[in-house]
Copies of this chain bind each other. A is one copy, B any other.
Amino acid sequence: MKARLCLALAGLLLLTTAGATFSVADEGMWTFDNPPLKQLQEKYGFTPTKAWLDHVRLSSVRFNDGGSGSFVSPNGLTITNHHVAFGQLQKLSTAGKDYVKDGFHAKTQAEELKCPDLELNVLLSMENVTSQVQGTVKPGMTEKQALDARNAEKAKIQKESLDKTGLRSDVVTLYAGGEYWLYRYKKYTDVRLVFAPEQQTAFFGGDPDNFTFPRYDLDFALLRVYENGRPGVTKDYLKWNTKGAPDGELVFVSGNPGGTDRGQTIAQLEAARDVIYPERLARFKRELQALRTYAAKGSEQARQSADEIFGLENTVKAYTGEYNGLLDPKLFEKKKKAESDLRAKVQGDPEWRREYGSAWDAIAAATKKEGEVTKLQQNRSISTASGMARFARQIVVYAAEVKKPDAQRLDGYHDSQLDELKFYLLSPAPVYPEYEEALLAWSLQESLDQLGPNDPFIKAVLDGRKPADVAAQVIRGSKMADPAFRKSLVEGGEAGVAASTDPLIALARKVDPFFRETRKMYEESVESVFESAGEKIAKARFAIYGKSIYPDATFTLRLTYGKVQGYPMNGTKAPSKTTFYGLYDRAASFDYKAPFNLTQRFMQRKDRIDLSTPLDFVASLDIIGGNSGSPVINRNGDFVGIIFDGNIESLTGNFDYIEDTNRAVAVHSAAIIEALRKVYDAGSVANELEGK
């Protein structure tokens, strides 16, 4: 479930959301300033206190490369999914030592391995800055001017907060422009690996079983945050409850859903169905094909590309499910009704009509341009696949932006964002030039195929040469794989970048105008319209429904609630949990053939395990990609499990939550303890979790 968000961060997820939905059933990804107290009291007779909410929030951890987690001991022990930690496991591995395949277990603290470029965030405070941001927009401004004004104001707020508190400070856009909040985070950048099972155990069933249930995965990993070279003191952590949550129990998830499109207008949904999803899916599949071709070259190539292949398979499956949702006429009918109800109410009030009435048509008009601009953005780029090319592009942009007054810079290059940028640019994680060359060659070929030979970008980049030849020339001649080289460029400023003879930097300089031009096109014709119309629609909703609504997901901390429960499936019932029996059944049912094979350890230690121990479970929790690794919490605030997936029915959750069948899939707390003690001889880790 993670890769969608990774892609969002890489700039591909361009669907902007235009609103919010309001709550029925166990629905909603609620901000911590607006928890669903009424629904919880009415449906479950439970009202979380402020202390409960604060404790849960401060125990929750965001994994900035696209996932969630939580503190599970007072000594900084942090749990997330194996698939969230996958990238770091791969970066820590070498051709001879494969922690992805073999797992990892630090028997002592000294053996804990430092992750090369992992940043974790804990949300310390939230401050409503809506009036400040919206107030910068003056009458008579164009929508692009309004967007620039808001962005400048956001940058200012962030910088002031950073200067004042030293904390990571992000101004977050909620309700598609209806609200702006200043979120301050405590940051951890020294994060060390404590334990990870073998990938085959964490991801048993592979791509076929991904996004499905019943499920038999031990998808967890343990890390530890360090401060000043010592284990972090995490006063707020979730108490481990090995009994888990029984069938029917109220549970919560606190985590960071990456993005949803529930507030989209009908025009946007139709564009998604008819243009955006079909094109994007086709592109993903082509990229996956290229990655598989590379992986087929040998075991080392397979190892290098494993995380990316996993992520892209995950994305293709998720998008396919979402696309199927869009093809469902029932979903559209429901959405159409909600929109026409809202619009009728707006039309029925003269003031609302004047203030908000134009928003839907404005969005519909911008939506028509969105597909075309998005296609240009994707293809007039060298950095949609290759990480080395992305380094080069960002260094070139950085050198130019950092010279400007903070408020005028592109988003991502504000003073308050430079730490994060440099953390990424200077990462010591290994880079594999052969792999990078394959990826760049693919993306250049893709650009050529999509844009044609006469596009100015293609002429500038290829100049009649073949994509593979250009990729070979710039990657083989580049030192971009070396963090020290990148450091020298970052420190060398604009003059250094301008003088660099590195062929990848030269290429990045050449494409920089295209990057800026397409970005400007997007801002002018799409983003600024969406944001100003989004603000109107959000205000209409607030006026009509009050704050009984929640904003679309934005990879910020949210609270969601639901019940441990099965659901109707494939003509019968899916239970609310699985057991270790089921793991052995599914493996034997497929004659132990991959991806249903078991590790030697699990084959040998079968008789030690209490096979009736719960393994995975489902609950009617409203989550989505980015929530991976989120803790499942009971009303006492105990840790009872860890989210790692949604069922296939949940994929339409990007657009709509359907309580009957939408289920989040989690690893049961008992399974983790059983495996640590009986399979992995990791009793001391289990003891730390259980507070023994």
Contacts and interface: CB of A to CB of B under 8 A. Distances in A.
Interface of A: 205, 208-212, 214, 247, 317, 321, 569-573, 575-579, 581-582, 584-586, 588-591, 596, 611-612, 647-648
A575 B205 CA distance: 11
A116 to B, nearest CB: 34
A571 B211 contact: yes
Contacts of A571: 211-212, 317, 321, 647-648
A81 B611 CA distance: 30
B575 A586 contact: yes
B572 A584 contact: no
A203 to B, nearest CB: 13
A577 to B, nearest CB: 6
A588 B612 contact: yes
Contact of A214 (B321, B573, B589, B611): B589
Given A579-B589, A585-B581, A570 B612 contact: no
Given A581-B582, A582-B581, A582-B582, A212 B588 contact: no
Given A205-B572, A572-B208, A589-B214, A581 B578 contact: no
Nearest to A611: B584
A654 to B, nearest CB: 15
A211 B586 CA distance: 20
Given A579-B585, A584-B611, 19 more contacts: A205-B572, A208-B572, A208-B573, A247-B591, A317-B571, A575-B586, A576-B589, A577-B589, A578-B585, A578-B589, A579-B589, A581-B581, A581-B584, A581-B588, A581-B611, A582-B585, A582-B586, A584-B612, A588-B612
A438 to B, nearest CB: 30
Nearest to A320: B571
Nearest to A211: B571
Q: How many copies does the complex hold?
A: 2
Contacts of A317: 571
A210 B572 CA distance: 8
Contacts of A214: 589
B578 A582 contact: no
A565 B546 CA distance: 55
Contacts of A210: 572
Contacts of A205: 572
B584 A589 contact: no
Given A247-B591, A585-B582, A648 B570 contact: yes
Contacts of A591: 247
Nearest to A578: B589
Nearest to A593: B247
A563 to B, nearest CB: 15
A591 B248 CA distance: 12
A400 to B, nearest CB: 46
A150 to B, nearest CB: 41
Nearest to A647: B571
A570 B212 contact: yes
Contact of A575 (B569, B570, B589, B612): B589
Contacts of A578: 585, 589
Contacts of A572: 205, 208-210, 212, 648
Q: Name the residue among A569, A570, A581, A586 with the largest chain B CB count within 10 angstroms.
A: A581
A611 B648 CA distance: 29
25 contacts: A205-B572, A208-B572, A209-B572, A211-B571, A212-B572, A317-B571, A569-B570, A570-B570, A570-B648, A571-B647, A575-B586, A575-B589, A575-B596, A576-B589, A578-B585, A579-B584, A579-B585, A579-B588, A579-B589, A581-B581, A581-B584, A581-B611, A582-B586, A584-B612, A585-B585
A214 B570 CA distance: 10
Q: Name the residue among A579, A588, A648 with the largest chain B CB count within 10 angstroms.
A: A588
4 tightest A-B contacts by CB? A571-B648, A582-B585, A575-B589, A581-B585
A47 to B, nearest CB: 29
Nearest to A592: B612
A578 to B, nearest CB: 6
